[in-house]
Amino acid sequence: MNTLPEVQKYIDSFERPNGYNLYAWDVTKRLALEVWRSYLENRPFRRPVNFLCKEFYQMIRRPEDGQFILPENSFRMLSNG
């Protein structure tokens, strides 16, 4: 993926997890888009992205190879994520 419209379509393809209301899901998707924007602009992402739902961490992986677009040592996931 090389453009924000492609990224937006990718992010929108994920289903909202059980227990997430619409507002929380919208905030989660916007954060994923911010991460991608930084990645596409080749600049570091400095906001924390710790302990979000597993879908978020799937959103910030390149679909072509499954690699995270942030360094894996820069965030922490829930153990069940």
The whole-angstrom separation of Cα 47 and Cα 31 is: 9
Q: Is residue 20 part of a domain?
A: yes
Q: What is the pLDDT of residues 4-49, one digit of tens each?
A: 999 999 999 999 999 999 999 999 999 999 999 999 999 999 988 8
Q: Examine residue 11 and state whether it is found in any structural domain, yes or no.
A: yes
Residue 58 lies in a domain: yes
Indicate whether 79 belongs to any domain.
no
Residues 20/26, Cβ–Cβ less than 8 Å: no
Q: Which residue has the tokens 């879908």?
A: 55
In a domain, 81, yes or no: no
Residue 34 belongs to a domain: yes
Q: How many domains does the chain have?
A: 1
pTM of the model: 0.89
Q: Which domain holds residue 25?
A: 4-74
- For residue 19, is it left (φ>0), alpha (ψ between -120 and 50) or beta? left
